[in-house]
Structure 1
Amino acid sequence: MVGGVPRRAFEKLVEKALERLPEEFRQALDNLAIVIEDWPDPAIVEEITGDSEEVLYGLFTGTPLPERRFDDSGDLPPVIALYQGPLEEDFPERSELAREVEITLVHELAHFMGFDEDTVREYGYE
């Protein structure tokens, strides 16, 4: 438990968010690992944002679908990390937390699928 939400309860929020995904997002889940971590590594946050104090709720790492090639098949799967600590800290109400988990998950999935920010907005996730 990072803050007030036990890990299993947070995992349930992620599972429910996965169930609510639009069909084209659910189809992209094959060969993709989704992990929950307590907090992001400050060095990674600084590398991505330029500021180690910046808030990061999730992170996609790996090769986006449009860039994958047949000979990538032996590589480790792409990963979406969801960071429970910052999400919980910024969204203490359970309903707000559930919504932000879904938004973060879709946002990171969109990176995996090669979508730009405008396309993500079209789905209602900013």
Structure 2
Amino acid sequence: MRFPRLLNIATRVVKDALQSLPADIRNEAADCRIEFVEMDSLMDTDEDLDPDLLGLFEGNARCDPLPESPDEMPRILLFLDNLWDECGGDLAVYRHEVRITFLHELGHYLGLDEDEVAALGLA
């Protein structure tokens, strides 16, 4: 599937996921930028990235000090090509994986570690 279609679907899924959250968490999430990207396009510029990542949280978490530089600004990256590949071309599974991956990375922004995120069923 082409990236514009994957982007359209993922954007709706993330918007719906945000709307389903309690208002206080939704308000916290508003300070974290969400980017929909293709891993293939980043591999040439960032050799340290794991090529199989589905999502990534970067920058300062909500519980960290306020960002002092652009690279500390919080952002969630969702790798749509990897998510699509992970789903084997199944659109329903893709939607589910986008939602779970987004909420997983949002958990990191909110200060949860891997074990805490997994305990919420977001692993």
Instruction: Determine the C-alpha separation between the residues in 2 that align with 1:6 and 1:107.
Output: 19
Matched, 1:86 2:82: yes
Gap runs ≥5 in structure 1 = none
What's the CA shift for 1:6?
A: 4.5
Q: Could you tell me which of 94, 98, 116 is aligned with 2:95? A: 98
Contact map agreement 1:65 1:113 (CA 8 A) in 2 = yes
Aligned residue in 1 for 2:115: 118
The amino acid of 1:47's aligned partner reads: D
Contact map agreement 1:60 1:111 (CA 8 A) in 2 = yes
**Taking structure 2 as the reference length, what is the TM-score of the superposition?**
0.76
Instruction: Determine the C-alpha separation between the residues in 1 that align with 2:23 and 2:117.
Output: 14
What's the CA shift for 1:23?
A: 5.5
How high is the sequence identity, in percent, across the aligned residues? 26
Aligned residue in 1 for 2:20: 20
Contact map agreement 1:18 1:102 (CA 8 A) in 2 = no
Gap runs ≥5 in structure 2 = none
Instruction: Determine the C-alpha separation between the residues in 2 that align with 1:95 and 1:25.
Output: 26
Aligned residue in 1 for 2:48: 47
Aligned residue in 2 for 1:38: 38
Name the count of aligned residue pairs: 117
What's the CA shift for 1:30?
A: 2.4
Q: CA, structure 1 residues 106+25, in 2 after alignment: closer, same or farther (shift >3 Å)?
A: farther
Instruction: Determine the C-alpha separation between the residues in 1 that align with 2:52 and 2:77.
Output: 14
- What is the DSSP-based 3-state SS (H/G/I as helix, E as strand, rest coil) of the residue aligned with 2:3? coil
**Taking structure 1 as the reference length, what is the TM-score of the superposition?**
0.75
Instruction: Determine the C-alpha separation between the residues in 2 that align with 1:26 and 1:113.
Output: 11
Q: CA, structure 1 residues 66+6, in 2 after alignment: closer, same or farther (shift >3 Å)?
A: closer
Q: CA, structure 1 residues 22+96, in 2 after alignment: closer, same or farther (shift >3 Å)?
A: farther
Instruction: Determine the C-alpha separation between the residues in 2 that align with 1:31 and 1:47.
Output: 26
Moved more, 22-31 or 34-43: 22-31
